[in-house]
Structure 1
Amino acid sequence: MADDLTRNKRVWTVPNLLSVARLAGVPVFLWLVLVPEADGWALLLLALSGVTDYLDGYLARKLDQTSALGEILDPVADRLYILAVVVGLALREIIPWWVAVILPLRDLLLWGLVPLLRTRGYSALPVHFLGKAATFNLLYAFPLLLLGDGVGVVASLAEVFGWAFAIWGIGLYWWAGVLYAWQVRRLLAETERRTVVPDA
C-alpha cells in the first residue's frame, strides 16, 4: 500500500517529462502557424507531439512509472494541443469558427461536472476507449487540414482525409462527452455525498 502511494506521488519520471515537453510545444506551435506560417515546422511539431503522446503512456507502463501527475498531464496536453490547433487553423481560415468553438465547448461542459464529482470523492473519471478514439481522430485530422491548405494533388487528398477524420473525431468527441456526463449522473445517484470533516 505504501509503495502504491509513493508511486502515485512521483513527479520526476520520464513519462512526466515527455508530457511537460509536449505542453511546452503548444505555444511554439501557435507561433509557427500564426507568425511565420511555417507549416512544415508546425506539422513536424505535431508529429513529435503524437510520438511523445504514445511514448509517455508506453514508458509509464514499461518502466512502472505511472503517477497521479501523469494521469493529469497527459489528457491536459491532448486538450491544449487540440485547442491550439483549432484556434490556429480558424485564425488562418483553414477551418470554420464553429469547429473551433464546438470542441472546447464540450470540454467546458465536462469541466463543469468536476465539482459534482468532488462531492463523491472523485477528481475525474477514467478515460475510456471512445474518448481516446476521438482524440486520435482529431490529432490526425488537423495536421492533414493544415497540409491541405497548400496546392496540388497531395494538398487536395490531405484536405479530403483531414475532413473525414475531423467529422468522425468531432462526433466521437461529443459522444464520449455524453457518456462521461451519463457516468457522472449514475455516480451521483449511486454514491453517497462525502462530507469533509475539518481537522480538530
Structure 2
Amino acid sequence: MTSSNGPWAAASLPSVPGGSPPVTDREALPDRVWTLPNALSVLRLLGVPLFLWLLLGPESDGWALAVLMISGFTDWLDGKLARWLNQGSRLGALLDPAADRLYIVAALIALALRGIVPTWLVAVLLGRELVLGAALLVLRRYGYPPLQVHYLGKAATLLLLYAFPGLLLAYGSNPVAAIAEPIAWALTIWGTVLYVLAGALYLVQVAGILRTERAAGGTTP
C-alpha cells in the first residue's frame, strides 16, 4: 500500500551533502484537485475511521480486514490511474502517504487497546512519526517541501500493513491462528526495524539540508 499518486515531477532541489538523494519538489507537480486518483485517495482516507470503529466497536475483524484490503486495492489503482491518465498532482502526492500512515496509526491504537501489541511498540512507531513531524516543520521553515518517501520507508510500510491483519488473525478463534502468529510477528519486527531505520535516514537528509543552509548563510556577504 505504498504506491505514489502519480509520477514525481522531474524538478528537484539540490542534493544534500554526504551522498543523500536529491530532495524532490512536490510543488512542481500540477496543482489539480478534481482527478480520479485523488478521489480514490480520499475514499481511502474516509475508510480510516470505519476501519478503527470496526476494530474497537463491534470488533468485527473480518470486516476490518475487508476495509484494509479495499484500501490496498485502491492504493494500487490510484497510482496506476495517475500514470495512465497523466493525472499526478500535488494533492495526490500528499494524500497517498498520509493515508498509509493513518492506517498504521489506527491499527496500532486499536491493537494496543485490545491488548494484542505491547505499548512499547506503539511508543516506538508513534514516536518516530512525532520526530519526523518536527523535522517536516524544520524543512518548511527553510522553504523546503517534504522529502520524497524513501524505498526503505515504502518497504517498511508494506510490511506493517501486512503484519497488522496477520496479528488480528493470530489472536482470533480461527484455524489459521497458530500459523499466522509467527509470520505476523516476524513481519511486525522487520517492519518496525525498517520503519525506524527509514526515519533515521530521513533525519540524516534533513541534517544535511540544515548544514547546507548554515554554510550558505555563513558565506553570504
**TM-score where L is the length of structure 1:** 0.89
Q: Offset at 1:55? A: 1.4
Q: Offset at 1:159? A: 1.4
What is the aligned partner in structure 2 of residue 64 from structure 1? 86
What is the aligned partner in structure 2 of residue 76 from structure 1? 98
Q: 2:161 aligns with which of 125, 139, 162?
A: 139
Q: 1:34 aligns with which of 34, 46, 56?
A: 56
Alpha-carbon distance in structure 2 between the residues aligned to 1:114 and 1:160: 35
1:100 matches 2:107: no
Alpha-carbon distance in structure 1 between the residues aligned to 2:95 and 2:153: 16
Contact 1:18–1:52 (Cα < 8 Å) also in 2 = yes
**Code of the aligned partner of 2:199:** G
RMSD of Structure 2 on Structure 1 (CA): 2.1
Alpha-carbon distance in structure 1 between the residues aligned to 2:28 and 2:150: 25
Q: 1:49 aligns with which of 71, 76, 94?
A: 71
Alpha-carbon distance in structure 2 between the residues aligned to 1:30 and 1:79: 13
Structure 2's unaligned 5+ residue stretches are: 1-26
Contact 1:7–1:65 (Cα < 8 Å) also in 2 = no
Deviations 1:24-75 (A, max 9, x none): 0111011111111111101111111111111122221221111000111011
Higher relative contact order (CA 8 A, sep 6+): 2
Report the more deviating stretch, 97-106 or 145-154: 145-154
- State how 1:1-200 maps to structure 2 within 5 Å: 8-191=30-213
Contact 1:22–1:52 (Cα < 8 Å) also in 2 = yes
Identity of matched residues, %: 54
Contact 1:90–1:96 (Cα < 8 Å) also in 2 = yes
Alpha-carbon distance in structure 2 between the residues aligned to 1:44 and 1:74: 19
Alpha-carbon distance in structure 2 between the residues aligned to 1:7 and 1:146: 38
Q: 1:147 to 1:184 in 2, by over 3 A?
A: same
**TM-score where L is the length of structure 2:** 0.81
Deviations 1:94-150 (A, max 9, x none): 111222221111011011012221233212001110010000000000001011112
Contact 1:120–1:192 (Cα < 8 Å) also in 2 = no
Paired residue total: 192
Report the more deviating stretch, 45-54 or 115-124: 115-124
Stretches of 4+ moved more than 4 A in 1? 192-195
Structure 1's unaligned 5+ residue stretches are: 196-200
